[in-house]
Chains A and B, each alone.
Chain A
Amino acid sequence: MSFLRELYLAFWRVAIAIELQYRASSAIWLLGVVVEPVIYLAVWSAVAEAQGGEIGGFGPHEFAAYYLVLTLVNQVTQGWHMWEFQFRVQQGQFSFLLLRPVHPIHGDLAENLAHKAVMQVVLLPVLGALALVFAPRFDADPWSLALFLPALALAFALRFVVEWTLALACFWTTRIMAVNQTYFAVLFFLSGRVAPVELLPEYVRFAADALPFRWMIAFPVELALGRLSPAQIATGFAAQSVWLAVAALGLTALWPRALRRFSAVGT
C-alpha cells in the first residue's frame, strides 16, 4: 500500500509541476469548460421565460443551479485519455509506459486528479461569481447533499474507466478519432449537458437511463438540486455501481488483449 501511496505522490508532484507550467492553456481549457454550460443556461432561461416562466419545473433560477453544478461535475469527471492514446501510440510513447513495472492507468489517474485539483483553485471562484450573477435556487435536503460527494466520486470513476477502456481501441485502429467523436456526441446528449434529462423526450430518457452516460454527469447534478426521490437516488447509485463494475471487467478483459495487439507503431 505504501508503494502505491509513494507512486501516486510522485506522479502527483510531476503532474502538478506540469499543470503549473501550462497556466495559460489551462485557463483557456477552463474557459471552454465554463462557457458551454453558461450558453445553455442562457438559452434555457430564455426558453423558460418565453413559456411563461418555467419548463418542467425548471425556471431561470433552477436552470442556473443545474448548469452551475453541472459545470463542476463535468469538470471533475472529464478525461482526455481518448485523445491522448492516439498520440501516444503514434509517437511510440506507449513503449516507455509499458516498460514500467506499474500499470499505466496509475499515472493517468494521478495526472487526471492533479489537473482537477489545480483547476479547482480557479473554477470554484468562477462558479461563485456566476452564482452571484445568475442566483441559482437549490432545493436539496441535507442528506441529498451529503450523497452528492459519493455520487460525484462514482461518476468520476465510471467516466474514467469507461474512457480509458474505450481508448484502448487505438490498439486496433489508428483512426480512434471516429470512436471518440461518436462517444462524445452520445455523451453530450444523454448526460444532461444539452438539457436536463427529465426535459428530454421519453424515448431519449429511456436511452439515457439504460446507458451509462447519465450516471456519469447528470445524476450527481440532479442529486445536488434535490430533484430525485429516494427510489431514484437508490437507482442512480445502483446504475453507477453496475456500470462501473461492467467497465472495470471490460478493462480487465481488454487490457491483456490490447497489450498483445500492441505492435509498437512508430518504431
Chain B
Amino acid sequence: MSGGAALEVEGLGKTYVVPVREAGVRAALASLFRRETKSVVAVGAIDFRVASGEVVGFLGPNGAGKTTTLKMLSGLLYPSAGRARVLGFEPWARERDFLRRITLVMGQRNQLVWDIPVADSLERNRAIYGIEATRYRRTLDELVALLDLGELLQRPVRNLSLGERMKAELAVALVHEPQVLFLDEPTIGVDVTMQRRIREFLAGYNRRTGATILLTSHYMADVEALCRRVIVIHHGALLFDGQLAALVAGFASHKTVTVELAEPRGDLSSYGEVVSRDDLRTVLRVPKADTPRLTARLLADLPVLDLKVEDPPIEEVIERVFAGAPAP
C-alpha cells in the first residue's frame, strides 16, 4: 500500500455470530441443550481509500454497518475478513503509536467523567497520552477558544447540557491532536445552533491541522458543510463512493424549478409536477433530462420575473440511493 492515503481498506468485512431462539418457554428450554446461532453480516467486503487531510462523509441508514466499520478502523473490533491500514498501521494490532494518533467520537456516548469538572477529564487525557506541558497548554487554549468552552471547564459534566457535553467531549477527544478522526454522529441530539458550531469547528480543525476525518451523520447539513466526498453504505455493502456533487447528479432523477411570474397565470401543471404554489410563485418538480427544454418553454410562454433551477434536497437523494433506485 502506498503513501498519501490515511485510510486504506480492502475487502474489509465483519460477521457477527449471534444466538437465536424462538419466543416462548419451549424454545427457551430447547436452547439450554442446543444453542442455535446465526451469522449476521454487519459489513460485507468493502474497499475504499481516504487521502490524508480529506473529510469524507460515511452515510447509510441505521444498521448499515457504519459504526462497525468505524470500530474496526479504530482498532476496537477484529474484522472477519479483509485488511485495513490507518496511517500505515493495522488498526486491530492496537499499537500505542497508532492509538495515540487517532480518536473515535461517538455522539451517543462519552468518555467524560460524570461527577467531576471537564478540566479533570482533560487533565487525565493529558497524562494518558503523555502530552508535554507546553504543547498541552497550547492545544487546550486553542480548543477552549474554538469550542467556546470557557467556564464550562470548571463545571461537573452532569451539569452540562447535551450540546455542551458534546463540545467538551470533542475537546477531550482531540486534546492529543489526533491525525485521524472517526466521528460517529457527532451532532446527534444537539440543537441547530450547536450543530453549526460543531460543524464550523470540525471544518476549521481539518483546515488547521490537516487531519483526516471520516464522519457519519444523519444530518445532511453536516455532510454538505464538511464533506466533498461521501461513501454510502447499505446492508454492509458499498453503494457509492465519490464526490457529493456526483452523488446528487447520479441519483437525483428530478430537479426543482421555482418560477416567479409578473402576473397570475393559473395552473402550470402542464410544465411539470406542481409541488407548491401561491399567487405568483410556483415550485415544480421536473425530470432532470427535461429541465432545459421545460425552462426554455417557461421563459418563452410566461412573463417570468425570476426562475431558479435546483437539485433536490440531499436527504431526498440519499433516500433514493438507499432505496436502490438507479439513476434514470
Chain A positions within 8 Å of B, measured between CB atoms, are: 3, 6-7, 9-11, 13-14, 17-18, 21-22, 91-93, 95-96, 98-102, 259-260, 262-264, 267
The chain B residue with its CB closest to the CB of A21 is B115
Q: A95-B104, A262-B76, A264-B71 are in contact. Are A101 and B113 (CB under 8 A)?
A: no
Q: What would 30 A/B residue contacts be, using CB atoms closer than 8 Å?
A: A3-B130, A6-B130, A10-B126, A13-B123, A13-B124, A17-B116, A18-B116, A21-B116, A22-B115, A92-B106, A92-B109, A93-B109, A95-B71, A95-B104, A95-B106, A95-B109, A98-B75, A98-B76, A98-B94, A99-B99, A99-B102, A99-B111, A100-B99, A101-B97, A101-B100, A101-B129, A260-B78, A262-B76, A264-B76, A267-B68
**Within 8 Å CB of A18, what residues of B?**
113, 115-116
Q: Is B96 an interface residue (CB 8 A)?
A: yes
Give min CB distance, A13 to chain B, whole Å: 7
| CB contact between B76 and one of A3, A14, A99 (< 8 Å): that residue | A99
Interface SS of A by simple majority: helix
A263 with B99, Cβ < 8 A, contacts A18-B115, A99-B74, A99-B76 known: no
Tally chain B residues at the interface, Cβ within 8 Å: 32
Bound Cα distance A22, B113 (Å): 13
- For the complex, give the distance between the alpha carbons of A244 and B218 in Å: 50
What residues of chain B lie closer than 8 Å to A102, measured between beta carbons? 96, 128
Number of CB contacts from chain A to chain B under 8 A: 77
B304 interface hit (Cβ, 8 Å): no
- Distance of A98 from chain B, by nearest CB (Å): 6
Chain B residues lying within 8 Å of A98, measured Cβ to Cβ, are 75-76, 94
For residue B77, CB closer than 8 A to chain A, the reply is yes
Counting from the closest, the 9 A-B pairs by CB-CB distance are A10-B127, A101-B99, A96-B111, A101-B96, A21-B115, A17-B116, A7-B127, A101-B100, A6-B127
B174-196 to A contact mask, C-beta < 8 Å, 1/0: 00000000000000000000000
**Interfacial chain A residues near B78, Cβ < 8 Å:** 260
Bound CA–CA A145/B121 (angstroms): 41
Q: Name the B residues within 8 Å of A17 (CB-CB).
A: 115-116, 120
Interchain CA distance A161-B124 in the complex, whole Å:
23
The chain A residue with its CB closest to the CB of B96 is: A101
Please encode chain B, from 264 to 280, with 1 for each CB lying within 8 Å of some chain A CB and 0 for all others: 00000000000000000
Give the A-binding residues of B (Cβ under 8 A): 16, 67-68, 71, 74-78, 94, 96-97, 99-100, 102-104, 106, 109, 111, 113, 115-116, 120-121, 123-124, 126-130
Q: Which of B106, B120, B128 has the most CB of A within 10 A?
A: B128
How far does the Cβ of A87 sit from chain B's closest Cβ, in whole Å?
A: 13
A238 to B4, CA, bound (A): 56
Bound complex: CA A6 to CA B102 (Å)? 22
Q: Which residues of A contact B124 (CB under 8 A)?
A: 10-11, 13-14
> Which residues of A sit under 8 angstroms from B103, Cβ to Cβ?
99
Tell me whether A7 and B128 are in contact in the complex, defined as CB-CB below 8 angstroms, given that A95-B71, A99-B99, A101-B100 are known contacts. yes
Q: Which residue of B lies closest to A102 (CB)?
A: B128
Which chain A residue shows the least CB distance to B121?
Answer: A14
By a CB distance below 8 angstroms, the chain B residues around A9 are: 127
A263-B16 contact given A18-B115, A99-B99, CB 8 Å threshold: yes
| Interface pair A14/B113, CB less than 8 Å apart | yes
Return chain B residues, CB-CB under 8 Å to A22: 115
